[in-house]
Amino acid sequence: MHEARTESVRSRRTLVVALIVAVAAITATFAATASGTSTAKTISVAIVANGQMQDIASLTPALFTAKTGIKVKYTILDEGKLRQVTTRDVGSGGKAFDAVMIGPYEAPQFGAAGLLQDLTSMAKADKAYTYNDLIPAVRNALSANGKLYASPFYGESSFLMYRKDILAKNGVKLGLHPTWQQVAAAARKINTSSMAGICLRGKPGWGDLGAAFTTVLNTFGGTWWSAKSNGQPDKAQVDQPAFKQALGFYAKLVQDAGEKDAANSSFNECLTQYQANKVAMWYDATVAAGTLEAADSPVKGKNGYAFAPVYKTKSSGWLWSWALAIPRSSPDPTDAWTYIAWATGPQYIKAAGTHTKGGWAAIPPGTRFSTYRIPQYKAAAKAFAATTLAAMKAAPITNPGTSKRPGLPGVQYVGIPQFQDVGNRCTQLFSAVIAGSMDDTKAISQCQQIAAQAVK
Amino acid sequence: MLPALLYVVAITQLPFLVSIYYSLTNLKDKTQSLIPEPTKFVGFDNYKQIFSDSFFRQAMWTSVKMTVLAVVLSLIIGTVFAILLDRKFLGQGLVRTLLITPFLLMPVVAALIWKQQMFSSLFGVLNKVLTFVGFSSVAFISDHPLASIVTVLVWQWTPFMMLIMLAGLQSQPTDILEAANVDGASSVGVFRQLTLPHLRPYLELGALLGSIYIVQAFDAIDVMTGGGPGSTNVPYYVYQESIGGGFRYGSASAYAIVVVVFSIIIATFALRVLSSLFKDEERA
């Protein structure tokens, strides 16, 4: 009896020791991995793999770290991946990033949910940053309840870029405000086997194909969801005639006169093809114009610019900005702001003009009035600067289509959290329609199911 | 022993229990609601939804097609390579190393190589060859997502199958083969009647181990197509539902648990084959 008890005491003691060892082992693992990130004066930043961001990443050591002593560790990802990573990190209170690049879809939503630092007071207090210099349309799009949650790195609308020489050779004329029917006819007319008529995004992702397509959908009179009077999403509208008409128009145009391997092409792929003389027109972000007219661009000076094509609405261009925000869980918000104030401040814009290969035309545009007063920029961006500013001003952010939209304002997206997933999954289907491996009736009925399920 | 066991339990079984709990709630990411919502207990709703979800069925079907195609093709090609390697020739070591190389590459790298250097319609070798020969170029990945992914999987897994089959071939007793030779059997006859029956357990082992790994294929899909009809398999679907964009952790947990149950069933079969293989060894 007595022996049995000591036996059980001993085994209990072994169990306790074992538990302590196990817990210690786990905490040691975490401690070991965590200590790597807590080195002083290094901040981690996640950004999109577009040209202007690649530029700032390569200029940071010389222009920022040398002056402030703050090292910046960049994680450069394509748009879709960046969204997954930032949403995950911001939502779970992870400490992977001190600053993340997001846009007008995310900033007000995450901000309202209390997941981002309010930048307003820091931005207003910082003299060099000059808060009032920010273009109001962009600033408002990145704010919620009057609080600024992300500082714009560049701002953009969407418009049509085309090769003046190719259009002239084919006797095609486009006005400053074309309709989609005119653009489609032009694209089909100038399309050849070596040079496609138009580049339109076909890569899955709400911010890729989803953005370009939704502006077409809006102006065709369609919508993803109808809205209740309180702004909540009501019913999925994907199976409505206007949606089907818009998708049919878009897919047919890409199949008839679009770029090669359209289902894999988005902003960067279209940019490559346009600069390589593989496409004659391109409907995409206005920021692309800076790269097309850059000092080192092979198509410099050959391009014309027109407002986003329309059908049933007056204007259809989107409004977007890649902007830097500080997650609530950032380990080092003070240094993060120092970095953001530099990266999105007027000084960097000027520095980019002299330090990058692209020169003045390729600086981050569309965020500040002062940019449009720089004499060198005015000269280099003569072809597109005025159209860009006018397009951003005309972006129908509060009333993008022919009916009321649910959620927060937005043109090329629906300002509700469910849109990210619905947009991503539906554009996978639409991309398959563009590739010709799925018919549009099937894609529409499956997408309707996804959209309906999401707001149930 | 006990600390090790507790450690294993703590890092594998506790998360599983937590997942089971999550699968009974409507837990979602904080970014997925404008106003913070409390997480509710929803009972078996998530599980009920699985069986009415046509996209999950589609993903299951894709998983089956992808796994069966990749396993069968890599087994066939692997066996052929093994037979070719199972003899002495000049440079055998070099050839064997080259043939094994694809298996040593990281799956992400393999997928990237195929996507950019082979399949791409702008820079891809395949399309360069096609246009050189006079055909028009093909958008392999967008037009044939499943076939493209299976190609990469087969490329990666053929060496694995080859190694298993090579071990099988080399364990074949040579006296029987010599006897068959003396009796004047044709080489096709020897292969069909002696070698193939001998290889059967190795084929089974290769097929089962291959299935266990390939059914979890993720890297190739993420890199090459990022999902979509024809290429979203079950693991990718669960990823999309959870941290890959859906951020619905509750229902994603339910999907994951259903997947675990299926995996355990397949693994049980695999282990049975393995143990019968060892029993045969002992008997022999």
Among A122, A119, A86, residue whose Cα is nearest residue A101: A86
Buried b / exposed e across A150-186, counting CB within 10 Å, b at 16+? bbbbbbbbbbbbbbeebbeeeebebeeebebebbbeb
What is the rounded CA–CA span in Å between residue A119 and residue A138?
15
Q: Kindly report which listed range (A90-104, A116-130, A155-169, B23-37) carries the lowest average pLDDT score.
A: B23-37
DSSP A303: E
What is the rounded CA–CA span in Å between residue B121 and residue B118?
9
Taking the CA atoms of B16, B18, B21 and B23 in sequence, report the sign of the dihedral they define.
negative
**pLDDT over threshold 70, residue A22:** no
Question: Does B38 lie at the interface with A, CB-CB under 8 angstroms?
Answer: no
What is the rounded CA–CA span in Å between residue A147 and residue A151?
11
**pLDDT over threshold 60, residue A39:** no
Q: Express each pLDDT in A161-216 by its tens digit.
A: 999 999 999 999 999 999 999 999 999 999 999 999 999 999 999 999 999 999 99
Question: Does B201 lie at the interface with A, CB-CB under 8 angstroms?
Answer: no
Question: Does A16 lie at the interface with B, CB-CB under 8 angstroms?
Answer: no
Buried b / exposed e across A351-388, counting CB within 10 Å, b at 16+? bbbebbebbbbbbbbbbbeebbebeebeebbebbbebb
DSSP A71: E
What's CA B32's distance to the chain center, in Å?
Answer: 33
Q: Are A247 and A255 in contact (CB under 8 A)?
A: no
Structure confidence at residue A99 (pLDDT): 96
What is the rounded CA–CA span in Å between residue B5 and residue B3?
5
Cβ <8 Å between B247 and A431 = no
**pLDDT over threshold 50, residue A1:** no
Helix boundaries (H) for A36-163: 51-60, 66-68, 79-91, 106-112, 120-125, 136-141
Measured between beta carbons, the chain A residues lying within 8 angstroms of B30 are 91-93, 113, 115
Cβ <8 Å between B31 and A436 = no
Helix, strand, or coil (residue A249) = helix
What is the rounded CA–CA span in Å between residue B146 and residue B149?
5
Q: How far is A87 from chain B (nearest CA, A)?
A: 7
The DSSP secondary structure of B211-260, one letter per residue, reads HHHHTT--HHHHHHT-S-TTT--HHHHHHHHTTTTT--HHHHHHHHHHHH
**What's the whole-number average pLDDT of chain A?**
92
Measured between beta carbons, the chain B residues lying within 8 angstroms of A260 are 121-122, 137, 139
Measured between beta carbons, the chain A residues lying within 8 angstroms of B139 are 260-264, 435
Cβ <8 Å between B142 and A113 = no
The DSSP secondary structure of B184-222, one letter per residue, reads T--HHHHIIIIIHHHHHHHHHHHHHHHHHHHTT--HHHH
Residues 214-243, chain B: which have Cβ within 8 Å of A?
A: 226-230, 232, 240, 243
**pLDDT over threshold 50, residue A37:** no
Measured between beta carbons, the chain B residues lying within 8 angstroms of A434 are 142
Q: Kindly report which listed range (A21-25, A249-253, A327-331) carries the lowest average pLDDT score.
A: A21-25
DSSP B136: P
Q: What is the mean pLDDT of residues A438-452?
A: 95
Which residue in chain B has the smallest CA separation from A264? Answer: B142
Across the interface, which of B6, B30, B120 has its CB nearest the CB of A22? B6
- The share of chain A scoring above pLDDT 70, in percent, equals 91
Buried b / exposed e across B103-131, counting CB within 10 Å, b at 16+? beeebeebbbbbbeebbbbbebebbeebe
pLDDT averaged per 10 residues, chain B (length 284): 89 91 90 79 90 89 95 96 91 93 95 93 88 88 93 97 95 89 89 90 90 91 89 92 85 90 82 75 61
Q: What is the pTM of this model?
A: 0.86
What is the rounded CA–CA span in Å between residue A369 and residue A85?
32
**pLDDT over threshold 80, residue A369:** yes
Cβ <8 Å between B142 and A261 = yes
- CB neighbours of B213 closer than 8 A, spacing ≥ 6? B157
The ipTM is 0.81
Interface test with A, best of B8, B26, B30, B116 (most A CBs within 10 A): B30
Q: Express each pLDDT in B161-173 by its tens digit.
A: 999 999 999 999 8
Question: Does A329 lie at the interface with B, CB-CB under 8 angstroms?
Answer: no
**pLDDT over threshold 60, residue A35:** no
What is the rounded CA–CA span in Å between residue A328 and residue A359?
36
**pLDDT over threshold 60, residue A33:** no
Residues 74-133, chain A: which have Cβ within 8 Å of B?
A: 80, 83-84, 87-88, 90-93, 106, 109-110, 112-115
Cβ <8 Å between B34 and A112 = yes
How many CB pairs below 8 A link A and B?
Answer: 128
What is the rounded CA–CA span in Å between residue A211 and residue B105?
36
Measured between beta carbons, the chain A residues lying within 8 angstroms of B3 are 17-18, 21-22, 25
Structure confidence at residue A19 (pLDDT): 63
What is the rounded CA–CA span in Å between residue B74 and residue B156?
8
Distances (CA, A) of A375 to A353, A363, A384: 11, 13, 15
Task: List the end-to-end C-alpha distance of chain A, in Å, as a whole number.
Answer: 64
